[in-house]
Amino acid sequence: MGTGKAADRKMELEKEDSHELHKRLSQVDPEMAAKLHPHDKRKVARSLQVFEETGISHSEFLHRQHAEEGGGPLGGPLKFPNPCILWLHADQTVLDERLDKRVDAMLAAGLLEELRDFHRRYNLKNISENSQDYQHGIFQSIGFKEFHEYLITEGKCTPETSNQLLKKGIEALKQVTKRYARKQNRWVKNRFLSRPGPSVPPVYGLEVSDVSKWEESVLEPAVNIVQSFIQGHKPTATPMKMAYDETENKRSYHMCDLCDRIIIGDREWAAHIKSKSHLHRLKKRRKLNSDAVPPIETQSSSPDCDPEPKEGKSPGQHEQELKARV
């Protein structure tokens, strides 16, 4: 199947109901279905597409990759031997400031004009047909969908409203850019630092918070590391390491009947059962269960216990009644 047809088929699958897709996947590839959340429509559709095109389950493909010589937890063998990773990382506050300035620089360099031109040439027709799609292709990239409201109302509303929508789009672009940077950092940690193994390249961290120290903090260490690898020597720098739980399963399947949610991953499950929403529902259910228990009788039927004096009678009268019973 050609690239274009394959992409079209994947889009067709993604238009179907997510639970129906997941049900179909569980029939042809139960192992992969158990690892994917029903709402993760893209991955579910991709796994179904692999099976439709090849007749082999996606999970079987992955098993074969892992079993190849040089394969490991990340997949098949690496393309190049003896690789290393240089990870340039910065303090989060510093990184956020740089990303905000980057967005400002993009705007100053003509981002809005580029967006307007792209909108006129490719998106106006989709909007008129109510078929705009910000989930596939170039339209899903950061920097376009954030300005949707501004672009479709420009020239059709007051300057004040247009300016507010523009500011809203700029702020959204900055927020999603910073969110994506955090996602990239998590990916490096989860992909390489939390999953050590023979086929996982060493990661050397280079601190770039202070650019005034670029030469001694980044350039020189990077050159030394690369030269050591080229010459077959062990670098003097130490690769980054991160504590990890060998027993943690990132693809384990959990069903929370209380919240009616499917949770994938041990860490995500641990976070869910401690979340406010889960604890709130748990507290609510416990209260309902306690209210459903029949009330305990206030008067004991045990012969060893004296009944309480009835209202309106003195203790002396009550004592005489007890003697009469005896």
Helical H segments across the chain, by residue range: 3-14, 18-28, 30-35, 41-54, 58-67, 92-108, 111-118, 124-128, 148-153, 159-188, 214, 220-231, 266-272, 276-292, 315-325
Tell me where in the chain the CATH 3.40.50.300 domain(s) lie: 85-231
* Per-residue model confidence (pLDDT) at position 143: 83
pLDDT at 322: 39
Query: Cα–Cα distance between 26 and 47 in angstroms, integer?
Result: 10
Q: Is the pLDDT of residue 202 over 70?
A: yes
Start-end ranges of CATH 1.10.20.140 in the chain?
Answer: 3-67
Half-sphere exposure of 193 (CA within 13 A, CB side): 16
Distance, in Å, from the CA atom of 1 to the CA atom of 180, rounded to the nearest integer, reads: 32
The whole-number pLDDT of residue 32 equals 92
Of 33-42, 106-115, 116-125, the range with the highest mean pLDDT is 106-115
Q: Quick one: pLDDT band at residue 133, thresholds 50, 70, 90?
A: low
Percent of the chain at pLDDT above 70? Answer: 80
Q: In the predicted model, is pLDDT for residue 105 greater than 90?
A: yes
Res. 309 pLDDT band, cuts 50 70 90? very low
User: Quick one: pLDDT at residue 73?
Assistant: 63
Q: Which residue has the higher pLDDT, 169 or 66?
A: 169
For residue 148, pLDDT over 90 is answered with no
**Least trusted range by pLDDT, from 111-120, 290-299, 301-310, 315-324:** 301-310
**Do the Cβ atoms of 150 and 165 come closer than 8 Å?**
yes
Note the pLDDT tens digit of each residue in 285-301: 888 888 776 655 544 44
What is residue 95's predicted lDDT score, i.e. its pLDDT?
Answer: 96
Q: Is the pLDDT of residue 183 over 70?
A: yes
With cut-offs at 50, 70 and 90, classify the pLDDT of residue 94. very high
pLDDT digits (tens, 9 = 90+) for 17-73: 889 999 999 999 999 998 898 888 889 999 999 999 999 999 998 888 878 877 766
What per-residue confidence (pLDDT) applies to 134? Answer: 64
Report the pLDDT value the prediction gives residue 236, as an integer from 0 to 100.
92
Output the CA torsion sign for 271, 275, 281, 284. Answer: positive
What topology does CATH give the domain 85-231?
Rossmann fold (3.40.50)
Please write the tens of the pLDDT for every residue from 57-81: 999 988 888 788 777 666 777 788 8
The predicted pLDDT at position 3 comes to 59
Task: Supply angle C-alpha 301, 302, 305, rounded to 5.
Answer: 105
Distance CA 253, CA 60 (A): 19
Question: Mean pLDDT score of the chain, rounded to an integer?
Answer: 82
Give CA–CA dist 30/24, Å, rounded: 9
Residue 208 has pLDDT above 70, yes or no: yes
pLDDT of 245? 66
Minimum mean pLDDT range among 77-81, 111-115, 215-219, 245-249: 245-249
308 has a pLDDT exceeding 80 = no
- pLDDT in the model for residue 109: 96
- The CATH class that applies to domain 3-67 reads mainly alpha
The pair of structure tokens assigned to 184 is: 């990239």
Of the given ranges (118-127, 174-183, 268-277), which has the lowest mean pLDDT?
Answer: 118-127
Distance set, CA 59 to CA 44, 46, 175, 234, 251 (Å): 12, 12, 36, 37, 13
pLDDT of 221-244, one tens digit each? 999 999 999 998 999 999 998 776
Residue 6: pLDDT band (50, 70, 90) is: low
